[in-house]
Amino acid sequence: MHPYKRSARVGDLIREEIADIIQNKIKHKTLGFVTVTGAKVSDDLRNATVYVSVLKEEDADKTVRKLTESASFIKGELGRRLKMKFVPSLIFRIDESIQYGMKIDKLLDEIKSERSSIDEDENIL
């Protein structure tokens, strides 16, 4: 038996292939810099949620819209590349974990800065 589910393995493969398709096959000027960060495939392999991040946060909605418009093309390309009975339907979402991580880092930096200023104040007294 494999160490993890087939849907997880298919998700990894779909992530790699979609990243290549976006980089090499989709020529859309407004798409911008897109990174495919993950793909979660349902257990029945019929649906895949593809998570992407963008360089400019203000381009996120536009990027998801363009990828959604290109979903049938991407699905067709996946069908030619993957040896699967069915290619999952694709749903594109912004991966918010990156922004969340950046917020956590910012908060930790603020706490560190506050602690440094408190320590300096205590040393003065």
Res. 121: pLDDT tops 70: no
Whether residue 19 is contained in a domain is answered as yes
Res. 19: pLDDT tops 60: yes
Contacts of 95 (CB under 8 A, 6+ apart): 37, 38, 51, 52, 53
Whether residue 47 is contained in a domain is answered as yes
Say whether 120 sits in a helix, a strand or coil. helix
Q: Examine the domain organization and report whether 120 and 100 are in the same domain.
A: yes
Name the phi and psi angles at 49, rounded to 5: -95, 120
Q: What pLDDT is attached to residue 111?
A: 85
What is the pTM (predicted TM-score) of this model? 0.76
Mean pLDDT of the 18-35 span: 84
Res. 119: pLDDT tops 80: no
Assign 3-class secondary structure to 63-119: HHHHHHHCHHHHHHHHHHHCCCCCCCEEEEEECCHHHHHHHHHHHHHHHHHHHHHHH
Could you tell me the residue range of the domain that residue 101 belongs to?
Answer: 96-125
Number of structural domains the chain divides into: 2
Minimal CA–CA distance to 10: which of 94, 65, 18? 18
Q: Examine the domain organization and report whether 82 and 100 are in the same domain.
A: no
Query: Could you read off the pLDDT of 40-93 as tens digits, one per residue?
Result: 999 999 999 999 998 888 888 899 999 999 999 999 999 999 888 899 999 999
In the predicted model, what is the mean pLDDT of the chain?
86
